[in-house]
Structure 1
Amino acid sequence: MSFSREVKDELSRQLSSARHCQIAEITAIISLCGRVSINEKEEYYIKIHTENLTVARKYYTLIKKTFQVNPEILVKRNHYLKKSKLYMIVIKDSKVSMKILKATKLIDSDGEVQENLSIVDNVVVQNTCCKRSFIRGAFLAAGSISDPEKTYHFEIVAATESKAKQIQDIIGAFDIDAKIILRKKYYVVYVKDGSQIVDLLNIMEAHISLMNLENVRILKEMRNSINRQVNCETANINKTVAAASKQVEDILYIKDTVGLSELSEGLEDIARLRFEYPESSLKELGELLNPPIGKSGVNHRLRKISIFADNLREQKEEVNHGIKTNNN
């Protein structure tokens, strides 16, 4: 089961005790995955659809509990996904449908259903608790969340920009920075920050899913921290190996050119130790001296050896250049 389905299954078991919160959740559901039809007698009836059986049961229970009505449940094959089923909760009673539309503010005072089933009056989500319920209903109706093992991505799909902005504003009321992007012909409200997605799960009261996501986040952060540390240590090791290799190269050049005896006593001692122990750290080299010296002291001497070797190379180049000039 996908993480998104796990979250929806958990949310399908959440039922607000307050009627105004139940209405707010129903409002989001009808607005995002519902349809209002008018028959030849100009009577309204409502259809709500979903591909998730658990979510369909939630719709049914929510409407039954809030409006004391038994909706009809229909099951159809999805024409686009042949193996998938489409569950429809249908309210055929025109009076009940009108009652629901008025309570959810999806119909105005003149009895006109709002275009795209937008909320006429934000009084439906005036309370903080109702905003929570609305977000939960919106996610159940048209939301999804990525597997946190792969990436952090929460989204709710809306048919119109105005509806998407309304969802964005309601989410924003909880200090969550949701963005909107146009994907094909739909407007997608999304959040990509892991900590804010955790906040959204808390807002929707998906506490088990929240803990599961937090566990994944902790493990990912630990792995990332370990990887950063390993990369840093690897870089330091590579840097140390490269520096030691250059030091040995300089010492070998001095030995083959003028001999290590041309170095001062302190430099000769450290040069022989570096040549004998090419893999030792500066600290370890310093401890091998008698008397021992610190890391900075060893580094200082090796720098002097490097300068001595570079001077020898420059002198050799000058000599070779002079010989070449005379020959010409």
Structure 2
Amino acid sequence: MQNPPGFTEAVRQELANLPVGSATVVAAELAALCRFAGRLQRTGGDPSIRLVLTSTSGAVARRAFRLLQQRYAVRAELAVRAPGGVRRRSTYEVRLADARHIAADLGLVDAAGRPVHAVPEGLDAVRAAAYLRGAVMAAGSFSAPGRPAHLEIRAGSVAVADGLRALLVRELDGPVTLLTDARDRVVCKSGAAIGELLVLVGAPGAFMRWDERRFRHQLRSEANRLANADAANVNRTIRAASAQIQGVEQALQQLGMDGLDHDLREVALARLANPAASLQEIGELLDPPVGKSTVHRRLTRLLRLASEGPSA
């Protein structure tokens, strides 16, 4: 039986199987696929440009092949490279021999054929989502649901990473970090923002899986926090009640029951009879009931009288 794909591959497969959008949406998605998973090759002084798009996901490679065919009516070459050497997995390549006009149309090169690293200008919300979808399919990597939230998109250059980060910040609610190292990557550690991105790019199934696990993890953490807080509150209540009971007993020994006015006598008896009760619960036992601040004031007066002695 075949093992289910990991979460990152499941996201890629869900996105790769989405219906193909309009021409401008396809162009935005292709621009990101080619920028984040592709490379442009030249040979000597030949002005032509060869496009090679590489992915470890067959679904992503087939998506790129299909989009190129629909947008530009070209038939690229789709090849599979078996594992070997440093490659531990099969890799899929989409190759297009004469791709200069496509690279220019997608904003990958300028009119002179020089590389362009900026995000395409003027992306509206729909095309921005398509561009981010292409980036996620091409170079995104997600932590497993239920683990500490982590999304990483490898960009290949600081300029490309910086443009992607700016677009993510514009579209998402959550911190996005640019890491400039050997891989030049954009990182997001906000679980909510990652979930928002999954919905934005068109992966509701992955979002449900992501958010359910994340919610269950948060729920367990919150339950543990509340349990610890409740235990701490109980311990504080017991310590406070113990000190109050000692003070009440001392006051009664020094002053006697007749030496206290009605309010103090009533709260003293209620405290002694209910050693584990909170101040609010003590107040509810009095006649008439009073709030915990009133109980606190009366006990404070009682303890002060005990410390001053009978002469008070």
Query: Is TM > 0.5 for Structure 1 vs Structure 2?
Result: yes
In the alignment, the residues of structure 1 paired with residue 302 and residue 19 of structure 2 have an alpha-carbon distance, to the nearest angstrom, of 78
Q: Aligned partner of 1:72: which letter?
A: L
- CA deviations on 1:35-72 (whole Å, 9 max, x unpaired) are 22234683532221112222222223222333330413
Q: CA deviation at 1:103?
A: 2.5
- Taking structure 1 as the reference length, the TM-score comes to 0.76
1:48 counterpart residue number: 53
Q: Aligned partner of 1:118: which letter?
A: H
Q: Aligned partner of 2:64: which letter?
A: Y
Q: Aligned partner of 1:249: which letter?
A: Q
- For 1:294, which of 290, 293, 301 is the aligned residue? 290
- For 1:27, which of 2, 26, 31 is the aligned residue? 31
Q: CA deviation at 1:142?
A: 1.1
Q: Aligned partner of 1:27: which letter?
A: A
Q: Aligned partner of 2:157: which letter?
A: T
Q: CA deviation at 1:229?
A: 4.9
Q: CA deviation at 1:210?
A: 2.6
Q: CA deviation at 1:307?
A: 1.2
- For 1:14, which of 15, 18, 25 is the aligned residue? 18
2:162 counterpart residue number: 165
Q: CA deviation at 1:281?
A: 3.7
- Taking structure 2 as the reference length, the TM-score comes to 0.79
Matched, 1:69 2:72: no
- For 1:88, which of 93, 96, 105 is the aligned residue? 93
1:209 counterpart residue number: 206
CA separation of 1:183 and 1:81: change in aligned 2, threshold 3 A: farther
Secondary structure, counterpart of 2:138 in structure 1: helix
In the alignment, the residues of structure 2 paired with residue 277 and residue 295 of structure 1 have an alpha-carbon distance, to the nearest angstrom, of 16
Q: CA deviation at 1:24?
A: 2.2
Greater shift in the superposed pair: 269-278 or 153-162: 269-278
Which structure's CA Rg is the greater one? Answer: 1
Secondary structure, counterpart of 1:47 in structure 2: strand
Secondary structure, counterpart of 1:310 in structure 2: helix
Is the contact made by 2:158 and 2:184 (CA closer than 8 Å) also made in structure 1?
Answer: yes
- For 1:155, which of 135, 152, 157 is the aligned residue? 152
- For 2:62, which of 43, 57, 62 is the aligned residue? 57
Correspondences of 1:210-289 after superposition (within 5 Å): 210-216=207-213, 218-219=215-216, 222-223=219-220, 226=223, 229-230=226-227, 232-254=229-251, 258=254, 260-261=256-257, 263-264=259-260, 266=262, 267-268=264-265, 270-282=267-279, 284-285=281-282
1:324 counterpart residue number: none
Q: CA deviation at 1:113?
A: 4.3
CA separation of 1:37 and 1:76: change in aligned 2, threshold 3 A: farther
Q: Aligned partner of 1:308: which letter?
A: L
Q: CA deviation at 1:139?
A: 1.1
CA separation of 1:262 and 1:128: change in aligned 2, threshold 3 A: closer
In the alignment, the residues of structure 1 paired with residue 104 and residue 290 of structure 2 have an alpha-carbon distance, to the nearest angstrom, of 83
Q: Number of residue pairs matched? A: 303
Stretches of structure 2 that go unaligned for 5 or more consecutive residues are none
- For 1:122, which of 113, 120, 123 is the aligned residue? 120
1:100 counterpart residue number: 102
- CA deviations on 1:58-95 (whole Å, 9 max, x unpaired) are 2232223333304131313264453x22222222x33x
- CA deviations on 1:139-161 (whole Å, 9 max, x unpaired) are 11111233342333333221212
In the alignment, the residues of structure 1 paired with residue 297 and residue 284 of structure 2 have an alpha-carbon distance, to the nearest angstrom, of 15
2:194 counterpart residue number: 197
CA separation of 1:155 and 1:284: change in aligned 2, threshold 3 A: closer
- CA deviations on 1:259-307 (whole Å, 9 max, x unpaired) are 7447425344543443343123445545666x55534554333222211
In the alignment, the residues of structure 1 paired with residue 170 and residue 280 of structure 2 have an alpha-carbon distance, to the nearest angstrom, of 58
In the alignment, the residues of structure 2 paired with residue 148 and residue 287 of structure 1 have an alpha-carbon distance, to the nearest angstrom, of 47
Secondary structure, counterpart of 1:108 in structure 2: coil
Q: Aligned partner of 2:50: which letter?
A: Y
Matched, 1:133 2:130: yes
Identity across matched positions, percent: 23
